[in-house]
Amino acid sequence: MKLYRPVGTAELKLIEQSGYKAFPPRLPEQPIFYPVLNEKYAREIAERWNVKDTSDHKGYVTEFEVDDDYCSKFQVQTVGRSYHQELWVPADELENFNRHIIGTIKVITEFSGDDTDIKEM
């Protein structure tokens, strides 16, 4: 299954440290890891939230593949509009989730606080 994850710079650095093979553990106040099912939704989050909520005003969209059979254990959650779809992975399942990533995590888009600065990777 192809999934997307909007991230800020700090999370992207941790992904880079893993060799683009894993997402970092969740913080104690983050009980769910939520990859999203489509690029449109991931871009919205990166541009609207990550850019505003990070000190460097940057947001990134990552794309990655996860084993279909493994993903089937998580119910798709629709959290707004019909395309606002996520998988809710419990934080204590993230290490196992990372083991089911096929290949590497790729950065496909970068947003900055300047709306004119969008980089397609």
Exposure of 32 by Cβ count < 10 A (0-12 exposed, 13-18 middle, 19+ buried)?
A: middle
Q: What is the pLDDT of residues 12-32, one digit of tens each?
A: 999 999 999 999 999 999 999
Per residue in 79-104, pLDDT tens? Answer: 999 999 999 999 999 999 999 999 99
Please give the model's pTM, rounded to 2 decimal places: 0.89
Over residues 60-85, mean pLDDT: 96
Contacts of 109 (CB under 8 A, 6+ apart): 43, 46, 60, 61, 118, 119, 120, 121
Q: Which domain holds residue 77?
A: 2-120
Give the CATH number, domain containing residue 88: 3.20.170
Using the predicted structure, report yes or no on whether residue 40 has a pLDDT greater than 60.
yes
Nearest to 12 by CA among 25, 24, 29, 27: 24
Q: Which H or E run includes 111?
A: strand 101-112
* Number of structural domains in the chain: 1
The whole-number pLDDT of residue 119 equals 57
